[in-house]
Protein backbone atom coordinates (compact mmCIF):
# COMPACT_ATOMS: atom_id res chain seq x y z
CA UNK A 1 0.00 0.00 0.00
CA UNK A 2 1.31 3.44 -0.90
CA UNK A 3 1.59 6.06 1.82
CA UNK A 4 1.64 9.75 1.00
CA UNK A 5 2.53 12.86 2.98
CA UNK A 6 2.09 16.52 2.18
CA UNK A 7 4.36 19.37 3.24
CA UNK A 8 3.11 22.09 5.58
CA UNK A 9 4.70 25.13 7.15
CA UNK A 10 4.82 24.59 10.92
CA UNK A 11 6.41 27.75 12.37
CA UNK A 12 7.99 30.77 10.75
CA UNK A 13 10.54 32.92 12.56
CA UNK A 14 12.73 35.74 11.29
CA UNK A 15 15.72 33.48 10.53
CA UNK A 16 14.24 30.00 10.09
CA UNK A 17 11.02 28.56 8.73
CA UNK A 18 10.19 25.13 10.09
CA UNK A 19 8.19 22.73 7.94
CA UNK A 20 6.53 19.45 8.75
CA UNK A 21 4.60 16.72 6.97
CA UNK A 22 1.09 15.37 7.33
CA UNK A 23 0.06 11.85 6.43
CA UNK A 24 -2.86 11.87 4.02
CA UNK A 25 -5.24 10.17 6.47
CA UNK A 26 -4.25 12.23 9.53
CA UNK A 27 -5.83 15.42 10.81
CA UNK A 28 -2.65 16.64 12.49
CA UNK A 29 0.88 17.05 11.18
CA UNK A 30 3.76 15.04 12.61
CA UNK A 31 5.29 17.98 14.46
CA UNK A 32 2.05 19.08 16.11
CA UNK A 33 1.38 15.46 17.03
CA UNK A 34 4.79 15.49 18.76
CA UNK A 35 3.89 18.71 20.62
CA UNK A 36 0.56 17.29 21.78
CA UNK A 37 2.04 13.92 22.80
CA UNK A 38 4.70 15.57 24.96
CA UNK A 39 2.76 18.62 26.16
CA UNK A 40 3.25 17.69 29.81
CA UNK A 41 6.96 16.95 29.46
CA UNK A 42 9.30 19.47 31.03
CA UNK A 43 11.83 18.56 28.34
CA UNK A 44 9.47 19.83 25.64
CA UNK A 45 10.27 23.32 26.92
CA UNK A 46 13.95 22.72 26.02
CA UNK A 47 13.04 21.69 22.46
CA UNK A 48 10.65 24.63 22.01
CA UNK A 49 13.23 27.06 23.40
CA UNK A 50 15.82 25.78 20.91
CA UNK A 51 13.39 26.10 18.02
CA UNK A 52 12.77 29.71 19.04
CA UNK A 53 16.48 30.41 19.54
CA UNK A 54 17.39 28.91 16.14
CA UNK A 55 14.51 30.73 14.49
CA UNK A 56 15.12 34.16 15.97
CA UNK A 57 18.85 34.36 16.79
CA UNK A 58 21.17 31.65 15.54
CA UNK A 59 19.74 30.38 12.29
CA UNK A 60 19.70 26.69 11.47
CA UNK A 61 23.38 25.84 11.57
CA UNK A 62 24.07 22.09 11.14
CA UNK A 63 26.17 21.98 14.31
CA UNK A 64 23.05 22.52 16.42
CA UNK A 65 21.47 19.27 15.20
CA UNK A 66 22.44 15.77 16.30
CA UNK A 67 23.33 13.56 13.31
CA UNK A 68 20.88 10.65 13.22
CA UNK A 69 21.16 9.43 9.62
CA UNK A 70 20.61 5.75 8.94
CA UNK A 71 20.28 3.64 5.82
CA UNK A 72 20.93 6.53 3.46
CA UNK A 73 18.64 8.90 5.35
CA UNK A 74 19.66 12.34 6.56
CA UNK A 75 17.71 12.60 9.81
CA UNK A 76 18.95 14.82 12.58
CA UNK A 77 17.59 15.48 16.05
CA UNK A 78 17.03 18.22 18.57
CA UNK A 79 17.99 19.24 21.19
CA UNK A 80 21.52 20.10 20.11
CA UNK A 81 24.51 17.98 21.12
CA UNK A 82 25.50 18.19 24.82
CA UNK A 83 28.22 20.82 24.25
CA UNK A 84 25.42 23.35 23.53
CA UNK A 85 23.20 22.36 26.46
CA UNK A 86 23.64 22.93 30.14
CA UNK A 87 20.86 20.47 31.04
CA UNK A 88 20.24 16.80 30.42
CA UNK A 89 17.46 16.21 27.88
CA UNK A 90 16.32 12.78 26.69
CA UNK A 91 13.39 13.96 24.57
CA UNK A 92 14.28 13.82 20.87
CA UNK A 93 12.61 15.60 17.97
CA UNK A 94 13.71 14.12 14.66
CA UNK A 95 14.11 16.54 11.82
CA UNK A 96 15.82 17.26 8.50
CA UNK A 97 18.15 20.20 8.02
CA UNK A 98 17.67 21.69 4.55
CA UNK A 99 19.43 25.05 4.82
CA UNK A 100 20.26 27.83 7.27
CA UNK A 101 16.63 28.97 6.86
CA UNK A 102 14.64 25.77 6.29
CA UNK A 103 14.21 22.71 8.52
CA UNK A 104 11.66 19.89 8.52
CA UNK A 105 10.32 18.82 11.93
CA UNK A 106 8.96 15.30 12.30
CA UNK A 107 8.20 13.41 15.53
CA UNK A 108 10.11 11.83 18.37
CA UNK A 109 10.05 10.57 21.90
CA UNK A 110 12.05 10.05 25.07
CA UNK A 111 15.30 8.24 24.29
CA UNK A 112 16.04 5.58 26.91
CA UNK A 113 18.86 3.64 25.23
CA UNK A 114 22.32 4.52 23.93
CA UNK A 115 21.18 4.42 20.30
CA UNK A 116 17.88 5.28 18.66
CA UNK A 117 17.78 1.85 17.03
CA UNK A 118 17.84 0.19 20.47
CA UNK A 119 15.20 2.44 22.07
CA UNK A 120 11.59 1.25 21.88
CA UNK A 121 10.34 4.83 22.36
CA UNK A 122 12.19 6.54 19.53
CA UNK A 123 13.00 3.65 17.17
CA UNK A 124 9.84 4.03 15.02
CA UNK A 125 10.26 7.82 14.84
CA UNK A 126 13.95 7.45 13.99
CA UNK A 127 13.32 5.02 11.13
CA UNK A 128 10.37 7.04 9.81
CA UNK A 129 12.40 10.28 9.92
CA UNK A 130 15.14 8.66 7.86
CA UNK A 131 12.57 7.35 5.38
CA UNK A 132 11.04 10.82 5.09
CA UNK A 133 14.43 12.46 4.53
CA UNK A 134 15.04 10.09 1.63
CA UNK A 135 11.67 10.99 0.06
CA UNK A 136 12.32 14.72 0.53
CA UNK A 137 15.83 14.43 -0.92
CA UNK A 138 14.45 12.52 -3.90
CA UNK A 139 11.81 15.22 -4.45
CA UNK A 140 14.59 17.80 -4.34
CA UNK A 141 16.63 15.85 -6.92
CA UNK A 142 13.51 15.53 -9.10
CA UNK A 143 12.96 19.30 -8.93
CA UNK A 144 9.68 19.07 -6.98
CA UNK A 145 11.26 20.87 -4.01
CA UNK A 146 13.92 23.55 -4.27
CA UNK A 147 15.48 26.27 -2.17
CA UNK A 148 14.96 29.89 -3.11
CA UNK A 149 18.45 31.22 -3.95
CA UNK A 150 17.77 34.54 -2.20
CA UNK A 151 15.85 33.52 0.92
CA UNK A 152 16.98 29.89 1.29
CA UNK A 153 13.33 28.94 1.92
CA UNK A 154 11.55 25.96 0.38
CA UNK A 155 9.80 26.30 -2.93
CA UNK A 156 7.24 23.59 -3.69
CA UNK A 157 3.75 23.15 -5.10
CA UNK A 158 1.23 23.18 -2.23
CA UNK A 159 -0.47 20.12 -3.74
CA UNK A 160 2.77 18.09 -3.77
CA UNK A 161 2.46 14.68 -2.15
CA UNK A 162 5.51 12.59 -1.36
CA UNK A 163 5.30 8.82 -1.46
CA UNK A 164 7.11 7.06 1.36
pLDDT digits 0-9 by tens, 4-51: 999 999 999 999 999 999 999 899 999 999 999 999 999 999 999 999
Given this model, what pLDDT does residue 2 score? 82
Given this model, what pLDDT does residue 91 score? 97
Question: Is 1 a residue whose pLDDT tops 80?
Answer: no
Given this model, what pLDDT does residue 51 score? 98
If one counts every other C-beta atom within 10 angstroms of the C-beta of residue 112, the result is: 11
- Largest Cα span, the chain: 45
The predicted-structure confidence for 37-95, as pLDDT tens digits, reads as follows 999 999 999 999 999 999 999 999 999 999 998 888 899 999 998 888 888 899 999 99
Given this model, what pLDDT does residue 82 score? 85
Residue 18 bridge partners (DSSP): 11, 103
Given this model, what pLDDT does residue 69 score? 84
Strand pairing report for 102-110 and 17-23 = parallel
Given this model, what pLDDT does residue 5 score? 97
Percent of the chain whose predicted confidence (pLDDT) is above 90: 89
Distance CA 61, CA 110 (A): 24
Residue 95 is given by DSSP the state: E
Mean pLDDT of the chain: 95
Instruction: Tell me how far CA of residue 75 lies from CA of 130, 133, 151, in angstroms.
Output: 5, 6, 23
CB 136 within 8 A of CB 104: yes
Distance CA 105, CA 86 (A): 23
Question: Is 102 a residue whose pLDDT tops 80?
Answer: yes
Question: Is 109 a residue whose pLDDT tops 80?
Answer: yes
Given this model, what pLDDT does residue 126 score? 96
Residue 91, classified by CB atoms within 10 Å of its CB into exposed (0-12), middle (13-18) or buried (19+), is: buried
Amino acid sequence: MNTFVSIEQAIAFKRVTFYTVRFEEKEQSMFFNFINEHAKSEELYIIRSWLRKLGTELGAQPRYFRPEGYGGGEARALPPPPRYLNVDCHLRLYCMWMSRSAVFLFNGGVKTAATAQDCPNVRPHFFLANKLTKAISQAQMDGDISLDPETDLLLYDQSLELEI
